């Protein structure tokens, strides 16, 4: 890589020059930094979950208070997502990414040195602000000029969530058992600060006016905003519910050991990583109607969720892989569809609004699931709710389909 130049589509170099690399190389190299930031942000969140048992013992927390840790992350994320989108379109993605990495590091650091549960919650909330601020600028940077690569590019970027989460789940507990949970949080803190320095040095730029004119607008079917945000609200809520309750369900209902349940969760996360990249590739082959891909994902996801509480142990791995591929793998195609529903200059704002609803779903749906499980003294009603919400999201997509845009027109705003 030439000195002083960061090749990316549609990034500029730090000195304003155009990248000489061809489109395939530019897309891959341009995705590395957004992928790294998303992975580290995910690691910050998952590190707290991985240390949950030790944190509970340190502060004598109840199970409800342990659940508040995850809620604080997504409350913070929901609060910052829209603002991050506006700042991304105003300042550019580089400064917003630096700010997000600093917030993640500061919040995690405060959590690591907290002397009470309330101080811990405050630190997690600040980290959540950084977590929510990551998506709009990384969506702008990972967004290529052509829809033929958009789904795959954004899906690869979004695969950083299961990737970073899996690495944190594997490494953080090992360090925590040896050196303590506070010391284990130093790893994600250091990575956040390192990435902040890297982004500040590279100064990734938003698309130029020429880049925007090169983005084709002949997508035949676009989502209608803000109606389509409801899809993200429901699917995001179901996804976090699976992350929160699956291991507990497998231990309580399937009589698995914690290690066995953890391996099944890891299988689901790996399937989610494969699903995000795979569905992104498929949607690029059919980029003129990504909505159909999202509806197919929803249908498979709902079917697998409804089967989860009734299948035998022999079929459980297959069902978990389907849930991972669809209930976790939907995100990249959804963001690509939302990005194509507006003019290029509003990508940050629209991404921020969509992620606000995704994070609100992550705050509201898991407690509802927990209340159903507790009230019914069983898991079938809870998983049935997740399947039903996924089917509702499928129907919402059909209602959110917009009329085809005029060929060659960029559009003046949100469709």
- Residue 239 CA to residue 262 CA, distance in Å, equals 17
Structure tokens at 6: 């960061």
For residue 415, pLDDT beyond 80: no
For residue 272, pLDDT beyond 80: yes
Lowest mean pLDDT among 17-26, 143-152, 237-246: 17-26
Instruction: State the average pLDDT over residues 403-407.
Output: 44
What is the pTM assigned to this prediction? 0.75
- Residue 135 CA to residue 349 CA, distance in Å, equals 11
- The pLDDT-based confidence of 296 (bands split at 50, 70, 90) is very high
Per residue in 318-353, pLDDT tens?
A: 999 999 999 999 988 898 888 777 766 676 778 778
% the chain with pLDDT above 70: 81
- Residue 88 CA to residue 364 CA, distance in Å, equals 27
- The pLDDT-based confidence of 205 (bands split at 50, 70, 90) is low
Structure tokens at 258: 């914690």
pLDDT at 344: 64
For residue 131, pLDDT beyond 60: yes
- The pLDDT-based confidence of 207 (bands split at 50, 70, 90) is low
Enumerate domains of the chain plus CATH numbers.
23-211 (1.20.1250.20), 229-399 (1.20.1250.20)
Per residue in 150-161, pLDDT tens?
A: 778 888 888 888
% the chain with pLDDT above 90: 32
Check residue 96 and give left, alpha or beta (phi > 0: left; psi -120 to 50: alpha): alpha
Q: What values do phi and psi take at 225, rounded to 5?
A: -100, 145
Residues 203/328, Cβ–Cβ less than 8 Å: no
């Amino acid at each position: 890589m030439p000195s002083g130049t960061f090749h990316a589509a549609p990034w500029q170099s730090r000195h304003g020059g155009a990248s000489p690399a061809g489109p395939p190389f530019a897309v891959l190299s341009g995705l590395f930094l957004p992928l790294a930031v998303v992975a580290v942000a995910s690691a910050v969140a998952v590190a707290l979950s991985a240390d949950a048992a030790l944190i509970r013992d340190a502060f004598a927390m109840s199970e409800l208070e342990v659940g508040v840790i995850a809620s604080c992350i997504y409350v913070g994320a929901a609060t910052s997502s829209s603002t991050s989108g506006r700042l991304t379109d105003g300042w550019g993605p580089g400064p917003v990414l630096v700010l997000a990495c600093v917030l993640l590091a500061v919040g995690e650091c405060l959590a690591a040195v907290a002397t009470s549960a309330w101080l811990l919650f405050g630190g997690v909330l600040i980290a959540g602000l950084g977590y929510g601020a990551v998506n709009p600028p990384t969506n702008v940077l990972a967004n290529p000029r052509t829809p033929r690569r958009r789904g795959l590019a954004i899906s690869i970027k979004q695969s950083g969530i299961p990737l970073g989460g899996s690495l944190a789940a594997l490494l953080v507990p090992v360090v925590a058992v040896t050196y303590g949970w506070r010391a284990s949080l130093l790893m994600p803190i250091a990575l956040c600060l390192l990435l902040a320095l890297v982004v500040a040095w590279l100064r990734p730029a938003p698309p130029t006016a020429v880049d925007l004119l090169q983005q084709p607008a002949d997508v035949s079917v676009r989502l209608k905003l803000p109606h389509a945000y409801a899809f993200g609200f429901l699917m995001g809520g179901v996804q976090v519910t699976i992350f929160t309750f699956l291991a507990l369900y497998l231990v309580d209902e399937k009589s698995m050991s914690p290690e066995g349940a953890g391996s099944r969760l890891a299988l689901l996360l790996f399937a989610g990583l494969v699903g995000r990249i795979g569905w992104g590739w498929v949607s690029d082959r059919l980029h003129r109607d990504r909505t159909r891909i999202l509806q197919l994902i929803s249908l498979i996801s709902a079917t697998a969720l409804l089967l989860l509480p009734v299948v035998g142990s022999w079929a459980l791995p297959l069902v978990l892989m389907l849930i991972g591929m669809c209930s976790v793998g939907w995100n990249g195609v959804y963001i690509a569809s939302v990005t194509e529903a507006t003019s290029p200059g509003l990508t940050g704002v629209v991404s921020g609004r969509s992620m606000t609803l995704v994070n609100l779903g992550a705050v509201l749906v898991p407690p509802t699931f927990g209340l159903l499980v507790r009230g019914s003294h069983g898991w079938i009603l809870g998983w049935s709710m997740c399947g039903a919400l996924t089917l509702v999201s499928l129907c919402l997509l059909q209602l959110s389909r917009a009329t085809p845009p005029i060929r060659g027109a960029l559009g003046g705003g949100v469709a």
